[in-house]
Structure 1
Amino acid sequence: MLGSSNRNRIAERREATRREILDAAWRQAREVGVAGITLRDIARTVGMQPPSLYSHFDSKLAIYDAMYADSWLAYEEHVSRELDPLPTHPRDAIRLIARVFFDFSVADPARYQLMNHRTIPGFEPTAESYAPAVRVLERGVETFGALGVTDRADFDIWVSLLGGLIDQQLANDPGGDRFSRLLERATDMWADAGGIPHRTARRASTKRRARP
């Protein structure tokens, strides 16, 4: 016997076709918006008839579900590269976390919209597709706890602040940096309110007053 292979070529081809369909869906989402993609246009892009898509995805919502998982898995991998290791000082670490998420988000508005906005009627991610988002959130809570942010409300405020800046950037200055430039200042305002120390403690003046 010359040897055997454990490769399942049928499964590999099927997975490659699913990937091609998802890539076509992403291209459309970036051209016409997440809510504007159609099965007809996706099928035409990959060179098949629309009914053939159902051999790979049960519905249009199933395509959205796979795209949602794609998005959070991509961010999870991105975080592993960009935030390991974190700076040791809490303020530096939080600034970096904010910058990494902000830049990842504004780099692909369609992806960010699917990850964080409810713009698709009837769409709820399945538990399997939602799992990466849960892992990212849990990692964030754990990381902030290690940095001294132990009140979950403080973490929620930070997430809301960051999301608001991203939304403002995408809505009012797409491709620019108007709100990007405010990120560090906003992060420091939040850190000040939460009592997170500055890198250099403010020291009382040691200068003596001149005698008359």
Structure 2
Amino acid sequence: MLGSLLTQWTIRLALACFAAYLAGNLLGLARCASIDQTAEPRAKFTANRNRAFRWLRWIWTAGCLLFIAHVVCAFQFTHHWSHTHAWEHTAAETKRMLGVAFGDGIYFSYIFLLLWVADVACLWLAIRRPGWVVAAVYLFLFFIAFNGAIVFESGPTRPVGIVVVTAMLPLLVLFVWKQWRDLATSQKFQRTTTGKEPLPSGNAECEA
């Protein structure tokens, strides 16, 4: 009983942190796009953004730690540290919900965990990445979180997840569009100034 509660609530709290972090960043992006371009509002916005970022980074880290705790609880109390059991459980769940057994879906959960940990490390170490990489990572994380919170979840978590996803989806689209627009703009500028095709960028801000 305790193991089941721990497994359920660690993932619910992790997803709450996930939603809060993405919503905070995406709302900041939307506000940034709408503010005046004069120096004073931009400087004030940047200062406020930096303060908010520090809080959001802790929320993102807490969510990651909660998800790690969820994985540990799931393997301890449900799968008994057996990858085979986890694979079979995933196959049974996909069969029940989608009509198709897909045990390899467990690997998407593993990738989700690794990407979340890597992104947290990126934030704390201030590693710079291309914007399209950030966008691709968050799209993948959002897709997996969507499936976990809505498709394969039941009870009160599902309607709450639907409301959160509906509210966040336009902001996520704006975020992805901005990353690809910035990439296209930088490539066009490099072609114009150098007459050469742009090299792959590796120094974009870690904007999450």
- The TM-score range, normalised by the shorter chain, is under 0.3
Larger Rg: 1
TM-score, length basis structure 1: 0.27
Higher relative contact order, chain-length normalized (CA < 8 Å, sep 6+): 2
